[in-house]
Structure 1
């Protein structure tokens, strides 16, 4: 009978640091990079052995710049990897040299254990096991996971469905064992519930031999509670929660990680789920990029605004700085920007104001009343961001273009007037004048394309926006498109043609 853990899934807020830890430090192989199957705008990375074998897989959902989650009842709390027992001391030395937070070594259930924390704070245990482990000490398989539950007996009984039987006990921890690995059930009655976020595991998946086993498992759970079955391309899986609310998965061994890549090429290509094939190019522009150890990289800088780069294969030196609309994020405008300028580097920026959970660029006092002090302070912070990005990332200031949509265009127009030395080339899509008292700045040498929608119910008279810009000496190209507030193909065409006129060498 096939049993044991198929994979473990966690959440990371920093994809580059995650790759550096799991590939660079631990030595795991990156066996798959894909847009998420539940949310294609979320990068999903899968690490494991060189073949991507079930039982060796750690996967991570990339929630860039997400807040830290909270460890608590109703979740996986730790993941453990098998290493040779004699290598624990070597791993301790390596972790100390790398500055990785650690605890131990210690012994648990008579096994040597070294606890490490990954960059998001997730506890990764290295457990000494003397069986079928590579000579280079690289972790080759999952040793197990730890579950936090306030219903220990019910959780233990539930795990028997996946081929686990009761093993030794140590205090409040009951060990469950399969043919290949273990699950430690830790009773934590009265503890706080878990909160999803970076550094907190999402779920653990157990191995199913085939699709029929998944169907049978679902039938056996019909009186337990809700279940979901999803085709994840590389495996078919069933999702269910145990009596304590812990998310568990039952995943088939096949088709496996080599269904779309040869074994020697695993992890080299970014794939998109079949149901999102028509968005593949847009997703490649939106998803966060990273470098494997040894590859050229673009080290992230600590700047006042959350941001994301997307670099094309053949950059032309142009950088588009993108400011999203209300409710958007740093990746929203990357698809349209990539169509406007196929060879430009894209720098998406996230506004710091929020309104009922939606990202904005400045606060509002009412539907049509903008917080003027907040606009001024955020524009000053944005000025510092641009200076930091130019210097920190080595951007060519003379080939810097800003593109804003809706609330982002409103803020960008204000930034042009408040800091004309920072924003000198801009595309404003569906923008309005947000400043109550435009400063009358000298805008000579500033070029602005303004694209309004003829039927845009949100936009006021475009002249209220363009008149103070023109009065300051800016070169304004105002065009009205036969559309509303939404973006259309004409925005791409007009913007691309304007860029070509501004930069004759493109």
Structure 2
């Protein structure tokens, strides 16, 4: 019966930097990329040895620009990877050359250790320990296996006792750290009594999974833990597992080795295809557009710039040189409109942008006082900031201004309409979905101020806000814009009709 660590899962806010560190710097193999089984719109990356063997796996859920977490008690605090003992000096040199934060070398439990920080601030230890490689990686000194995890707990005795269920036994202690061993690896239990509690979020490790011998073992543990917060058995396609929290609140998983990552890819092609969970197969195309793109080391990439608005690119396989800039509705984000825009223009590059004005944690483009009364000063300020962002983005990403168009929905469409009135000639072509006139007393523009601009307004026949759309149409027409307006048999929601009309118009 196998014992030991199956995998460790963390949360990253910067997918490209994460790939560059784990697949690039450390030399692990990206063995699988999927949509999350709990949230299919969330990208999940798996790194490991050449076959993704249990015990070599580090996985990351991608929450781009998500709120940062905090490491504290009740959490997995550190991960450690085994490297050949004689390679520690080489790894120190590599880290310093790559300007990766590094501490050490130091001695812990008789082993030489380097402490690194990944791009999100997760502590990754490289431990000099000889492990035979199950599936060797191209770099002879690349990490071969997970050596350990460190758990922060306010209940060290109860945590130690709980981990005995997974085949761990006491081995040694040093200060506030008590080491447990299995047949293959170790878990360090650090007494964090009096330390602040951990907070979930990006830049923290979410859970550690231990190896189960079989599906029967998983089901037996679930029965043994009856009366606790243990979950049902989940089919994660590549393994079956359950989740439970130890007495200190640390999230643990118990996962089978089989069927493994070669279930749907050959060993040679592991990690090349983006898969979606089987229960979301009917929206697979949309999910592949929503999830963030990245490049493996050596592949062509879109260089992401640190600009004044959170944004994300989607580049199709065969781009035609055009770009559509997307502005979401209230409560949306930078990826919300990508599936719809991709259906309208399959070969266009998409640049989704996130509004900066929040309302009780909900993303918006400008503040409002009620559903139809808007903060005019905030509209003016955010319109000016957005125009500056577009100028910045076109330079940073070398976008072709002559092939630039905009698509906004609801609150995002309202901002686009305001931008066209407040900054004439800044937008040449726009699709406005369920837009209304957001400006209360707009300045009357000269006839011809919007000369050459083309606008498609798609209004919903049952939309309760549609009564405010004609004012925007009149303002744009009056300034010389060419406006096409369609009333669709919809409410404020979007539908297939928006795609059909948008395709013909664009």
Q: TM-score, normalised by structure 1?
A: 0.97
Instruction: Report if aligned partners of 2:437, 2:468 keep a CA contact under 8 Å in 1.
Output: no
What is the aligned partner in structure 2 of residue 229 from structure 1?
233
Q: CA separation in 2, counterparts of 1:131 and 1:265?
A: 25
Instruction: Report if aligned partners of 1:204, 1:248 keep a CA contact under 8 Å in 2.
Output: yes
Instruction: Give the counterpart of 1:481 among 465, 468, 488.
Output: 488
Aligned-pair CA distance for 1:225:
3.4
SS at match of 2:343: helix
**Pairing of 1:381-396 with structure 2 (within 5 A):** 381-396=385-400
Pair 1:242-2:246 in alignment:
yes
What is the aligned partner in structure 2 of residue 105 from structure 1?
105
Aligned-pair CA distance for 1:68:
1.8
Q: CA separation in 2, counterparts of 1:354 and 1:303?
A: 18
**Pairing of 1:308-319 with structure 2 (within 5 A):** 308-319=312-323
Aligned-pair CA distance for 1:73:
1.1
Instruction: Give the counterpart of 2:283 among 279, 285, 289.
Output: 279
What is the aligned partner in structure 2 of residue 130 from structure 1?
130
What is the aligned partner in structure 2 of residue 495 from structure 1?
502
Aligned-pair CA distance for 1:66:
1.3
Aligned-pair CA distance for 1:223:
3.3
Q: CA separation in 1, counterparts of 2:326 and 2:371?
A: 24
Instruction: Report if aligned partners of 2:213, 2:257 keep a CA contact under 8 Å in 1.
Output: yes
Q: CA separation in 2, counterparts of 1:294 and 1:43?
A: 21
Q: CA separation in 2, counterparts of 1:14 and 1:131?
A: 31
Q: Count matched residues.
A: 499
For each residue in 1:371-394, what CA deviation from the matched residue of structure 2 results, as whole angstroms up to 9, or x when unmatched? 111111111111111111111111
Aligned-pair CA distance for 1:199:
1.1
Pair 1:462-2:469 in alignment:
yes
What is the aligned partner in structure 1 of residue 12 from structure 2?
12
What is the aligned partner in structure 2 of residue 152 from structure 1?
156
Structure 1 stretches of 4+ moved >6 Å: none
Aligned-pair CA distance for 1:435:
0.8
Q: CA separation in 1, counterparts of 2:323 and 2:229?
A: 51
Which piece of structure 1 moves more, 67-76 or 235-244?
A: 67-76
Q: CA separation in 2, counterparts of 1:78 and 1:497?
A: 54
In 2 relative to 1, CA 192–377 (structure 1 residues): closer, same or farther, beyond 3 Å?
same
Instruction: Report if aligned partners of 1:314, 1:343 keep a CA contact under 8 Å in 2.
Output: yes
SS at match of 2:205: coil
What is the aligned partner in structure 1 of residue 147 from structure 2?
143
SS at match of 1:91: helix
Aligned-pair CA distance for 1:424:
1.1
Which piece of structure 1 moves more, 453-462 or 235-244?
A: 453-462
What is the aligned partner in structure 1 of residue 167 from structure 2?
163
What is the aligned partner in structure 1 of residue 31 from structure 2?
31
Instruction: Report if aligned partners of 1:81, 1:126 keep a CA contact under 8 Å in 2.
Output: yes
Instruction: Give the counterpart of 2:310 among 303, 306, 323.
Output: 306
For each residue in 1:397-442, what CA deviation from the matched residue of structure 2 results, as whole angstroms up to 9, or x when unmatched? 1111100001111111111111223211000000101011223341
Aligned-pair CA distance for 1:191:
1.2
Q: CA separation in 1, counterparts of 2:131 and 2:37?
A: 35
SS at match of 2:255: strand
Q: CA separation in 1, counterparts of 2:425 and 2:54?
A: 56
Q: CA separation in 1, counterparts of 2:105 and 2:294?
A: 32
For each residue in 1:197-231, what CA deviation from the matched residue of structure 2 results, as whole angstroms up to 9, or x when unmatched? 11100000000111001001101111333323211
**Pairing of 1:104-503 with structure 2 (within 5 A):** 104-133=104-133, 136-441=140-445, 442-499=449-506
Instruction: Report if aligned partners of 2:82, 2:131 keep a CA contact under 8 Å in 1.
Output: no
What is the aligned partner in structure 1 of residue 62 from structure 2?
62
Instruction: Report if aligned partners of 1:80, 1:145 keep a CA contact under 8 Å in 2.
Output: yes
SS at match of 1:460: helix
Instruction: Report if aligned partners of 1:228, 1:240 keep a CA contact under 8 Å in 2.
Output: no
For each residue in 1:35-93, what CA deviation from the matched residue of structure 2 results, as whole angstroms up to 9, or x when unmatched? 11110000000000011100000000000011221001101000000001111111011
Q: CA separation in 2, counterparts of 1:226 and 1:47?
A: 27
What is the aligned partner in structure 2 of residue 503 from structure 1?
none
Instruction: Report if aligned partners of 2:10, 2:205 keep a CA contact under 8 Å in 1.
Output: yes
Q: TM-score, normalised by structure 2?
A: 0.97
Which piece of structure 1 moves more, 439-448 or 204-213?
A: 439-448
Aligned-pair CA distance for 1:139:
0.2
SS at match of 1:52: coil
Q: CA separation in 2, counterparts of 1:343 and 1:468?
A: 32
Aligned-pair CA distance for 1:447:
0.4
What is the aligned partner in structure 2 of residue 2 from structure 1?
2
SS at match of 1:414: helix
Instruction: Report if aligned partners of 1:101, 1:116 keep a CA contact under 8 Å in 2.
Output: yes
Q: CA separation in 1, counterparts of 2:229 and 2:362?
A: 33
What is the aligned partner in structure 2 of residue 502 from structure 1?
none
